[in-house]
Amino acid sequence: MAGEVLVVAEQVNSQVANVTLELLGEGKKLARKLGSPLSCFVIGHNMEAAVDAVIRAGAEKVYLADHPELAEYKTLHYRRVILDELSSWATPPHTLLMGSTTTGRDLAPRVAAFFETGLTADTIELDIGPYEHTSGIDQTKIGYFPECLYASRPSFGESLKARILGPWKDPQMATIRPGVFAKPEMLTEKPEGVEIKKVAINFQPSDYRITIKETLRELEGKIDITAADVIVAGGYGLGSADGVNLLKDLAACFENSVVGASRKIVDLGWMTYPYQVGQTGKTVRPKIYIACGISGALQHRVGMQKSELIIAINRDPDAPIFSFADQGIVGDVYHVIPEMIKQLQEKNTSKLAELKVK
């Protein structure tokens, strides 16, 4: 039997991150294909609620490293507990998944380097399937591999989707950006019989080479555009930073809404980076995404194309965004948005369902 499918959990203030739950949902599908268990490595301090959440999200086995030193993410301490534990296994995990977040991007390459295994970053699709390696300079790599991790990611400026394989050594690793996969349905009750293994913690003096002096997370913490039901995003078509107020007015017509931005207006300083949607910003999948004066460049599209309903407002009828928007309005944002606000206020409807049937 192939090794486990292991998700390394991410946490802030002992609360498990959404990306971890998303990876557990997707990891379950891979585990079923392999006939292997889905496990989760939880690292932090006071992690009872996080353990509960990962089990309700589908983890069938939990490795728990709970220690005051692990309360905040620290590269070397986290690396130590993962490597100590995994090196003691007779069979390594088949697949190891982490979020493509600041933490995952720091930690995953260190784990991959230790095991001298491959790592695909910023993956957008995962699957398990066969691969036959028929030729190559390294003859030891030739062979048939029935169960490889297929990790697909955009390449060549997003114009191609490349499937990346590294079946020669387990764990086969990938990082996945938040919002790429849907969160699984959470069980209301924790199932019985899930094994929680407390892993040994043996920090070494060399792990203390890095110390955290201060943690600043307030700004990012307050702005989580990935959790919004409605995103009113603005682009260069707004004409100036003042246009952002118009976005805010439209967003205020909806519950659980937020404004978003294309990279161009973040680069111009009209909005700040936590609001940026796209390849180098956040990946979002709200119920409604209203793109105002955004052309729909590929790098923007990859961050919002999984939104349930995309409404685009653009004065250019040939703007690329109209080729993938569900509803398009050709017009000037300064005419269309005030009219939308007026109509929404008149009907006093912030209900998403009502807007959808229009």
Residues that bind ligand FAD (CB under 6 A): 235-237, 239, 262-265, 276-281, 293-295, 297, 299-300, 303, 313-316, 319, 332-333
Residue number, 85 or 122, with CB nearest to ligand FAD? 122
How far lies 156's CA from each of 72, 146, 321, in Å? Answer: 36, 28, 20
Residue number, 30 or 265, with CB nearest to ligand FAD? 265
Structure tokens at 124: 């957008």
How far lies 167's CA from each of 36, 83, 244, in Å? Answer: 16, 20, 48
Q: Which residue is nearest to ligand FAD (CB)?
A: 278
Residue number, 285 or 300, with CB nearest to ligand FAD? 300
Residue number, 87 or 280, with CB nearest to ligand FAD? 280
Least distance in Å: CB of 287 to ligand FAD? Answer: 20
Cis peptide, bond prior to residue 154, ω within 30 of zero? no
User: Which parts of 89-196 fold into alpha helices (H)?
Assistant: 102-115
Least distance in Å: CB of 329 to ligand FAD? Answer: 9
Least distance in Å: CB of 93 to ligand FAD? Answer: 31
Contact 127, 150 (CB under 8 A): yes
d(CA 264, CA 61): 44
Least distance in Å: CB of 229 to ligand FAD? Answer: 21
Least distance in Å: CB of 81 to ligand FAD? Answer: 33
Least distance in Å: CB of 123 to ligand FAD? Answer: 17
Residue number, 203 or 273, with CB nearest to ligand FAD? 273
d(CA 56, CA 207): 33
Contact 260, 232 (CB under 8 A): yes
Least distance in Å: CB of 200 to ligand FAD? Answer: 41
Least distance in Å: CB of 139 to ligand FAD? Answer: 38
Q: Which regions of 262-353 does DSSP assign to beta strands (E)?
A: 288-292, 309-314, 327-330
- CB half-sphere exposure, 73, CA atoms < 13 A: 20
Residue number, 54 or 333, with CB nearest to ligand FAD? 333
Contact 19, 101 (CB under 8 A): yes
Q: Which regions of 212-342 does DSSP assign to beta strands (E)?
A: 230-234, 257-261, 288-292, 309-314, 327-330
Residue number, 252 or 268, with CB nearest to ligand FAD? 268
Residue number, 62 or 251, with CB nearest to ligand FAD? 251
Residue 72, burial from CB neighbour count under 10 angstroms (0-12, 13-18, 19+)? middle
Q: What are phi and psi of 323, to 5 degrees?
A: -75, -15
